[in-house]
């Protein structure tokens, strides 16, 4: 066996966040892979400046273990749409926890939460719960394979960590480079899965058409996000829908991020294109663990004949959180509130780029836009991004290049964040003008790919 290097030599000293840094050094010795979510590794941020641990979150704010306060535009990688620790959701969980979590026989909450999803999501005739996004995708792929009797999966974008997905990188050409990140080795993924998961390009119908032609009769499902950083060209999603129908392939929308924020019924409602199945997690339960696979009855019911089973999937606190959360989304029209917040934020950010004379752009949907450092020389990009993270962390803002919103971001919060982001971008702009962003860094340049981390 050839274990990865410990890499502890790469952990820099904390200057602004000493307690976070102390905990991270302990994690380096105790937690395999250092963090449970890749994106929470300190090396991906302004190390020693950005917070690594937080023990309190409320509304749109969090406090790190060093006592610093932040306006949060990451919100648990987009898993919190009502705001952290939202009272009705916390209340439902607390009440349920006190009444037991229902693991010996089934809990009626699974029927109630499933009924809500079936009312809200256009393609949802049947529902299956699990505990997260990657897991939902895994279950959906299994069901699609069982329903079609085919093995291959066509994908676009990010869909978790499981073998079916990472096996895309067994083939030469590192397919995940364009869909996930640089440097993913399929270490530990069975080589027998070679050529079972095939990538296609977003907004390029020919790419999917050719894939389906070349693998005619072998593809079980197409799994994709309807929109992410880029939005669909006119007719693209309709074209995907038609192609999958023509080839007898199950179309799965991964709505782990788009779900409930683009529209109550997800991207499928927003774009009016209904897939055969969809997967949800994250803000389905506003910060509590739950995932869901939904879809058409004739496909979903093959779950009766495929062994898909786990004790904690339908434990009742996650379901109580889901029920309370979905009721709030519906009663308050939360997706519309999120769109308004996003529009206002995008307008403000574009204004800042103009004022500072930066060629940066803000793209994507208002419910989760992204900032693109356009015009920055490739060799300066990582340093410029680190500088942005350093300067925003120092000013009490977490967010960017991607931004997530919750219902509790007030206009005053947005104005405050934009002011701080503007100050940070002013430093970034000055550093770029001088051609040397590293000079302004008080921390190491952040890492971006995977390989350098081990
Ligand atoms: C589109 C998409 N699918 C799946 C996942 C994986 O979800 P989880 O981290 O809950 O396993 C993510 C996580 O960011 C995601 O963005």
Task: Render 54-67 in DSSP notation, one character per residue.
Answer: EEEEEBTEEEETTS
Residue range 160-168: mean pLDDT, rounded: 97
Residue 177 neighbours by CB under 8 Å, 6+ apart: 184
Domain 87-156+200-332 in the same topology as domain 19-78+334-453: no
| pLDDT at residue number 452 | 44
Residue at token pair 């989760």: 368
Q: How far apart are CA 343 and CA 230, in angstroms?
A: 16
- Token duo for residue 66: 């060093």
- Which fold does the domain 19-78+334-453 belong to in CATH? 3.90.1150
254 in active site: yes
Which residues, judged by CB distance below 6 Å to any ligand atom, belong to the binding site of ligand 1? 77, 132-134, 137, 158-160, 225, 254, 256-257, 281
Residue 127 neighbours by CB under 8 Å, 6+ apart: 113, 114, 117, 118, 292, 293, 294, 300
Residue with the bigger pLDDT between 183 and 92: it is 92
The active-site residue out of 131, 152, 282, 394 is 282
Q: Whose CA is nearest to atom 7 of ligand 1?
A: 133
pTM, rounded to two decimals: 0.95
Of the candidate CATH numbers 1.10.150.120, 3.40.640.10, 3.30.1330.10, 2.70.240.10, the domain formed by 87-156+200-332 belongs to 3.40.640.10
Where b means 16+ CB within 10 Å and e means fewer, 138-164 reads: bbbbbbbbbbbebebbbbbbbbbbeeb
Q: How far apart are CA 223 and CA 229, in angstroms?
A: 17
Helix (H, G, I), strand (E, B) or coil at 410: coil
Estimate the crossing angle of helix 87-98 against helix 316-332, to 10 degrees: 150
pLDDT tops 70 at residue 10 = no
pLDDT tops 70 at residue 308 = yes
pLDDT tops 60 at residue 76 = yes
Provide the mean pLDDT of the chain.
Answer: 94
| pLDDT at residue number 136 | 98
Domain boundaries, the chain: 19-78+334-453, 87-156+200-332
Helix, strand counts (H, E) of the chain: 14, 13
Handedness of CA 146, 149, 155, 161 (dihedral sign): positive
| pLDDT at residue number 3 | 37
* Side-chain-side CA neighbours of residue 435 (13 Å): 0
């Amino acid at each position: 066996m050839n274990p990865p290097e410990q890499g502890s030599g790469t952990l820099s000293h904390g200057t602004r966040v000493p307690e976070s840094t102390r905990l991270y050094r302990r994690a380096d010795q105790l937690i395999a892979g250092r963090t449970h979510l890749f994106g929470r590794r300190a090396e991906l941020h302004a190390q020693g400046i950005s917070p690594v641990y937080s023990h309190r979150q409320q509304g749109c704010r969090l406090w790190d273990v060093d006592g610093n306060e932040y306006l949060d535009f990451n919100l648990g990688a987009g898993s919190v749409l009502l705001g952290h620790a939202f009272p009705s959701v916390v209340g439902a969980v607390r009440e349920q926890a006190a009444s037991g979590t229902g693991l010996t026989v089934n809990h009626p909450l699974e029927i109630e939460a499933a009924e809500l999803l079936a009312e809200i999501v256009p393609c949802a005739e049947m529902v299956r719960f699990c505990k997260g996004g990657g897991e939902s995708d895994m279950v959906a792929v299994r069901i699609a394979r069982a329903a079609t009797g085919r093995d291959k999966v066509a994908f676009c974008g990010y869909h978790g960590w499981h073998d079916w997905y990472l096996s895309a990188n067994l083939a030469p050409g590192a397919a995940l480079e364009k869909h996930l990140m640089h440097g993913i080795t399929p270490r530990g993924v069975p080589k027998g899965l070679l050529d079972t998961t095939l990538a296609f390009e977003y907004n390029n119908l020919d790419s999917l058409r050719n894939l389906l032609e070349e693998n005619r009769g072998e593809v079980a499902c197409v799994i994709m996000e309807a929109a992410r950083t880029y939005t669909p060209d006119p007719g693209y999603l309709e074209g995907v829908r038609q192609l999958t129908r023509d080839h007898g392939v199950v179309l799965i929308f991964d709505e782990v991020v788009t779900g409930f924020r683009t529209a109550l019924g997800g991207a499928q409602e927003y774009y009016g294109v209904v897939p055969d199945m969809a997967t949800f997690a994250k803000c389905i339960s506003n910060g509590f663990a739950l995932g869901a696979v939904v879809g058409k009855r004739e496909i979903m019911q093959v779950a009766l004949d495929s062994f898909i089973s786990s004790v904690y999937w339908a434990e009742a606190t996650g379901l109580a959180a889901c029920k309370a959360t979905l009721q709030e989304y519906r009663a308050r029209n939360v997706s519309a509130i999120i769109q308004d917040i996003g529009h206002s934020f995008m307008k403000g950010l574009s204004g800042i780029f103009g004022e500072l004379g930066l060629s940066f752009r803000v793209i994507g949907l208002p419910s989760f836009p992204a900032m693109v450092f356009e015009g920055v020389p490739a060799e300066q990009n990582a340093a410029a991004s680190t500088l942005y993270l350093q300067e925003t962390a120092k000013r009490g803002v977490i967010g960017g290049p991607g931004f997530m919103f919750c219902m509790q971001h007030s206009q005053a919060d947005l104005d405050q964040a934009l002011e701080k982001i503007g100050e940070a971008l002013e430093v970034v702009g000055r550093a770029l003008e001088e051609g040397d962003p590293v000079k302004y860094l008080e921390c190491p340049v952040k890492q971006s790919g995977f390989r350098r981390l081990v």
